[in-house]
Amino acid sequence: MKITRRELKYKGLIFDVWQEEYETEHHIFKREIVDFPETCAVLPIFNDNSAILISQYRFPLKREILEIPAGKVGQGELPEKAAAREMMEEIKMRPEKLAKIGTFYLTPGYSTEKIHIFIGYDLKNAELPADVGEEIQVCRIPLQSLKEMMEMGDIEDAKTMLALMYFFTIFNQK
């Protein structure tokens, strides 16, 4: 597969959109590519068998959704540092310990977004100013309730579902 043309179609505040033309032995086709920065997310776990999820309005969905704290990894910032920073901005806590679940491409069919997902534990109070425009409700939820919410389809965010599935099936076995 060979790229024969690449054109910037949209330069955004958070991401850019490129249109690329590809040539194979038998076809020429076009694709739109969303060029998105690296992100991180963390599932904060308490010793009392509860976790924190956040509820925030997501404009593309036109409603609030429950998810784990997440955000962009800054230029030159380590994903672990970004995860701790996002927790301090969004839930006013920092993890003493982070366990990396892994690094994943969220939608490789059209986006370059790569996310680093962690479990954070031994949580301590720590605060950074919230990002402008973020209105977040912090929800402390028992782990058993989260398991039931997953089974009922109430957890719709992929990164949150992945982190919870990992926590319930692998992390607790270690």
Instruction: Indicate which residues carry an active-site annotation.
Output: 134
- CA dist., res. 143 & res. 156, Å (int): 16
Q: How far is CA 142 from the centre of its chain?
A: 21
- CA dist., res. 118 & res. 40, Å (int): 8
Strand partners, 138: 54
The one-letter amino acid at 92: K
| Sign of the Cα pseudo-torsion (148, 44, 136, 160, in order) | negative
Nearest CA-CA partner of 83 in 105, 64, 56, 102: 102
Query: From residue 126, how far is each of 28, 92, 136, 170 by CA, in Å?
Result: 53, 5, 16, 28
